[in-house]
Amino acid sequence: MFTWYVGLLAVSGFAMIAMANVNNGQSELSRGLNAVFGVVYLGYAGYLMFVFEGGSYLIFFQAFILPVLLAVDFARRTDWQALTTRPTPTQQAFRAYWKEQDRLAKRSGRG
What is the pLDDT at residue 74?
Answer: 85
What is the pLDDT at residue 47?
Answer: 93
What is the pLDDT at residue 7?
Answer: 93
What is the pLDDT at residue 51?
Answer: 92
Cα–Cα distance, 13 to 48 (Å, whole number): 14
pTM recorded for the entire structure: 0.66
3-21 residues labelled b (16+ CB within 10 A) or e (exposed)? eebbebbbebbebbbebbe
Residues of the chain with pLDDT under 50: none
Q: CB–CB of 111/102 below 8 Å? A: yes
Count helices and strands (H / E) in the chain.
Answer: 5, 0
Return the beta strands (E) in the chain as ranges. Answer: none
Q: CB–CB of 20/5 below 8 Å? A: no
